[in-house]
Amino acid sequence: TPRAARGDMIGTLVATAFWAMLPAYVPNNAAVLAGGGRPIDGGREWRGARLLGDGKTWRGTAVGTLVGVLLALALNALADPASAALGADLPTFALPAAFALAFGAMCGDIGASFLKRRSGRERGAAFPGLDQLDFVVGALGLAFLVDADWALRVFTPRVLAVVLVMTPVLHVVTNVGAYALGVKNEPW
């Protein structure tokens, strides 16, 4: 029936969007687990507030990026069987695209901290909207810069729409879960 066909299509879009964004979703969570050590801004202030703050560290950024790239390589090995199982055409990630998604996600989050400090928000403060989408903007922005052909092929307007709706939901669920588990200091 048309309704079942439409349901299939939406399921395929969600699976594709989730798969394509996994290398961007995981880095920030890995950084929470790996964080600590020297802050990127070295403690420097600018216009009366920290440049980035103690929550953005070299170690968290490096480990987060590495985990995202390794995850993308693992997904490459699974793309064929997963595509067959789901009846979808799941993308693979060349190294530049994998790096762009992972490092871009970390950069988006770092950029958000810069904006939080400029707007008087202390480390850990919430910035609704920005918190849920900063890493998406960073990841997709860098992916388009690094490999526009790949990015345009994977992130079609429909996949993009699913990403923009799905990501905030996943972000809230993930962070509330991490907070409940005692892994994260704030539930956002």
Which residues of the chain form contacts with ligand CTP (CB under 6 A)?
31-32, 35, 53, 55-57, 60-61, 106, 109-110, 113, 116, 123-125
Residue 18: CA count within 13 A, CB half-sphere: 14
Alpha-carbon dihedral sign for residues 178, 184, 185, 188: negative
Shortest spacing between CB 34 and K ion, in angstroms: 14
CB 178 within 8 A of CB 171: no
Q: Which amino acid is at 173?
A: V
Using Cβ positions, the residue closest to ligand CTP within the complex turns out to be 60
Residue 127: CA count within 13 A, CB half-sphere: 19
Shortest spacing between CB 110 and ligand CTP, in angstroms: 6
**Per-residue interface string for the shown chain with K ion, residues 50-89, x marking contact by CB under 5 A:** ----------------------------------------
Measure the CA–CA gap between 56 and 129, rounded to whole angstroms.
Answer: 19
Stretch that binds K ion, among 17-25, 72-80, 102-110, 115-123 (CB under 5 A): 102-110
Q: Which does 123 bind (CB under 5 to 8 A by kind): K ion, ligand CTP, none?
A: ligand CTP
Burial zone of 181 (CB within 10 Å; 0-12 exposed, 13-18 middle, 19+ buried): exposed
When computed from its CA atoms, the radius of gyration of the chain, rounded to whole angstroms, is: 17
Q: Which is nearer to K ion, 109 or 147 (CB)?
A: 109
Q: Which is nearer to K ion, 53 or 91 (CB)?
A: 53
12-31: which residues touch K ion (CB under 5 A)?
none
